[in-house]
Amino acid sequence: MKRIDAQTLHGWLDDGRELAILDAREEGEFGTSHLFWAIPCPLSKCELRARALLPCSSTRVVCVDDGRGVAERLAAYLEGIGFSDVAVLDGGTAAWAGAGYVLFSGVNVPSKAFGEWVEHHFGTESVDAPELKSWIDSGRNMVVLDSRTAEEFTRMSIPSGISVPGGELAYRIGDLAPDPKTLIVVNCAGRTRSILGAESLRRAGVPNKVVALRNGTMGWELAGLRCERGRTERYNPGTPKSAALALQRAKAFAEQSGVGVIGAIDLARFEDDPDRTLYVLDVRDPAEFRAGHRPGSRSAPGGQLVQATDQWIAVRGARIVLLDDTGVRARMTAAWLRQMGHRDVFVVEGGLDEVHESGTAIVPVPELRAAVPMIDVLGLTHLLDAGDRTVVIDLGRSIDFREGHIPGAHWGIRTRLDQLRAQLAGARHVVLTSPDGVLARLAVPEVRGLTDAEIRVLEGGTEAWHSFGRPLVKDRTNPPDEACVDFYLRPYDRNSGVEQAMQAYLSWEIDLVREIERDGTIHFGVGDAA
């Protein structure tokens, strides 16, 4: 197995060739300390993540961990599925720090750091929570637009706000605030999407005064104010009346940022190039994507793509092609990716002409072709009611297990199932589940090595159980915070110290500007694009 030292990897960051750095640890562990350009690809989910992150098998890949050996296992997996240029960082994160290089905490760090750079570079205006509250109370002519996902908005929102995810803002603002005298306030949970949302409107040339809510819903609650729960107010779907104006504005920002515009023939040529990584991402609302999308594309809603780029794009120097229906959302998103430092970013004129797929696009996982014994909801119900020594293991994320799991189920991480040996001892039947059942199917070989019990997978997973009308148990304390190594807990997810965690998170975001300057390998802005 090829190994490289920290100095070699550091040199690769700016040598102009494609490079992906994959961290094989669980995402919660990754969040404690990692390389800036590393992308989480937990060994426990490598079959589901690797091919989506690495569309080209000739890509140069470096696997990283903290020295415990999971990087080697991820590298071996990648080589086993055909990747030809894989190395392991010798000594992991400790060696990186020992060579004098910077380690970062948190998740989605490139996007978070970029948000802080945007605020400093463009001078994004902001308002603090008490002042916004006084504006709301006085009935000021304004709109409060929440740039997070609709699901996040429903969980908690600023009073009077409406849900307009970041990728939709510049597209729909002409309908939402047709009066140029209307003040526009953009918020998120913390800082990044507030800043990027507000600055998107400013870069688009909207005549209104636009400000970001300083520190988002966290700042609102830290000021002693209450967020609302359960609201569903959102923008009107469909093509906005002001779409032509939005396109004119988006074209100007995209041209300033150096976004390339290609046609269907160019895209086909990119797709046929075996030597370059290509990401084809549809930036529309997920519901629009499900209704119909271009074959081979993946759903990456524009605002979320900018604020969590590492969920979709792992390869530095890759080609990135964005699709939408009118050209507005693709251009706005592409402009920000260019500002973030991505070189080859394109939008496709007529990119949705080839729309003959519906549903959710799934990257093929050949490992799922292996036959595994299944059980349906009625069958599992019968086993549990019979009390026939049945153990249910849930392989979903810890945060999802807390929100709802099959009564009596045990939570486990696929690569650490030996921690459940005591629960498996004496079992006659073991049923594996996960939200949709996919990860559960992949875990069958690991569980077979731990028990002689009959092992089956719940058809359709926990979602099928719930859809059948069967009860779920919700318990925020199970697993406890310290056990949630598979998920980087946000302040709202914690069971204690929430206020301190909010303050620490906001301080961390603000400090990222200083940290990227100290790192020296991170360059934002079109002029500095690597």
The alpha-carbon radius of gyration of the chain (Å, integer) is: 24
- Over pLDDT 90: what percentage of the chain? 94
207-224 residues labelled b (16+ CB within 10 A) or e (exposed): ebebbbbbbbbbbbbbee
3-107 and 250-348: identical CATH topology: yes
Q: Compute the distance between CA of residue 282 and CA of residue 323 in angstroms, rounded to an integer.
A: 5
Q: Which amino acid is at 173?
A: I
CA proximity to 465, closest of 384, 364, 389: 384
At residue 358, the pLDDT reads 77
Q: Compute the distance between CA of residue 361 and CA of residue 495 in angstroms, rounded to an integer.
A: 35
| Mean pLDDT of the 463-480 span | 97
Q: Structural domain boundaries of the chain?
A: 3-107, 113-235, 250-348, 368-483
| Mean pLDDT of the 151-164 span | 97
**From 1.10.8.60, 3.30.1490.20, 3.40.250.10, 2.30.38.10, which CATH number describes the 113-235 domain?**
3.40.250.10
Q: Compute the distance between CA of residue 44 and CA of residue 396 in angstroms, rounded to an integer.
A: 11
Q: Compute the distance between CA of residue 183 and CA of residue 194 in angstroms, rounded to an integer.
A: 15
At residue 529, the pLDDT reads 42
Per-residue pLDDT tens digits for 441-462 = 999 999 999 999 999 999 999 9
Q: Which residues 6+ apart lie within 8 Å of 517 measured at CB?
A: none
Pairing of strands 278-282, 319-323: parallel
- Other CB atoms within 10 Å distance of the CB of residue 15: 9
| Residue 38 to residues 35, 357, 514, Cα–Cα distance (Å) | 5, 33, 19
Q: Which of 138-147, 346-355, 389-398, 424-433 has the lowest mean pLDDT?
A: 346-355
Cβ atoms of 35 and 21 within 8 Å: the answer is: yes
Q: Compute the distance between CA of residue 69 and CA of residue 516 in angstroms, rounded to an integer.
A: 28
CA proximity to 164, closest of 312, 285, 287, 331: 285
Domain 3-107 is of which CATH architecture? 3-Layer(aba) Sandwich (3.40)
| Sheet bearing 454-458, strands edge to edge | 374-375, 454-458, 429-433, 390-394, 410-411
Residue 528 has pLDDT above 50, yes or no: no
Q: Compute the distance between CA of residue 74 and CA of residue 78 in angstroms, rounded to an integer.
A: 6
Structure token pair of residue 503? 């303050």
At residue 527, the pLDDT reads 61
Q: Compute the distance between CA of residue 320 and CA of residue 439 in angstroms, rounded to an integer.
A: 28
pTM summary value: 0.95
**Averaged pLDDT score across all residues of the chain:** 96
| Mean pLDDT of the 236-262 span | 97
Pairing of strands 429-433, 390-394: parallel
Q: Which residues pair with 86 in a beta bridge?
A: 61
| Mean pLDDT of the 215-231 span | 97
| Mean pLDDT of the 295-322 span | 96
At residue 351, the pLDDT reads 81
| Mean pLDDT of the 168-193 span | 98
CATH classification code of 250-348: 3.40.250.10
Structure token pair of residue 315? 């390869």
- Over pLDDT 70: what percentage of the chain? 99
Residue 169 has pLDDT above 70, yes or no: yes
CA proximity to 467, closest of 377, 360, 375: 377
- Other CB atoms within 10 Å distance of the CB of residue 480: 12
Residue 494 has pLDDT above 60, yes or no: yes
CATH classification code of 368-483: 3.40.250.10
Q: For residue 230, what pLDDT band results from cuts at 50, 70 and 90?
A: very high
Per-residue pLDDT tens digits for 49-61 = 999 999 999 999 9
Helix, strand, or coil here: 262?
A: strand
Q: Compute the distance between CA of residue 128 and CA of residue 347 in angstroms, rounded to an integer.
A: 36
Length of the chain: 530
Cβ atoms of 171 and 288 within 8 Å: the answer is: no
